[in-house]
Structure 1
Amino acid sequence: MATITIKVDQEVAQLYQEADINKQEKLKNLIKLFLKPELAEKSLSQVMKEIADQAEKRGLTPEILEEILNEEE
């Protein structure tokens, strides 16, 4: 695994440093997804729509997603 540096404002840096390991991992996964070659040329809204469409096809409802997101808090 490699380490990279991303410039963010002080508030974001502090929030990340204070976040629990689960939230930090979720952010790392989101960045990894966003930078994949097949997604890199698309806008964030296009990527989010595609992810939502795929999740819906697999049976993920907004209610289930909310439950999953709240379980690790």
Structure 2
Amino acid sequence: METKTITIRVNAEVARMFEAASEEHRRKLEVLLSLKLSDATRSKRSLEEVMSEISRNAQARGLTPEILDSILNEE
């Protein structure tokens, strides 16, 4: 499978965790992210439906509007 490097924005904590991970763990995370991005772009669901599912999952994992605001306002 041919691969290509892309750049995506993530919060600083996620970036630190990724950078601190072993090479093997980073490769696994890259494969997982690639699969998720592929699913999201090939999905017949609308972007709104995908975003709603992501929102529900984030809330179920404890992400509150206040935490999201804090993450989005980080520089």
Question: TM-score when scaled to structure 1?
Answer: 0.50
**How far does residue 55 in structure 1 lie from its aligned partner after superposition?**
0.4
* Residue ranges of structure 2 left out of the alignment (5+ in a row): 11-33
Q: Say if 1:70 and 1:53 are closer, same or farther in 2 by CA, change over 3 A.
A: same
Identity %: 50
Task: Output the CA distance in 1 between the equivalents of 2:69 and 2:35.
Answer: 20
Match of 2:68 among 57, 65, 69: 65
* CA RMSD across the alignment: 2.8
Question: TM-score when scaled to structure 2?
Answer: 0.49
Task: Report the secondary structure of 2:45's partner residue.
Answer: coil
**How far does residue 43 in structure 1 lie from its aligned partner after superposition?**
0.6
Number of equivalent positions: 48
Match of 2:13 in 1: none
5 Å matches for 1:14-33?
25-26=8-9
Higher relative CO (Cα under 8 Å, sequence separation at least 6) belongs to 2
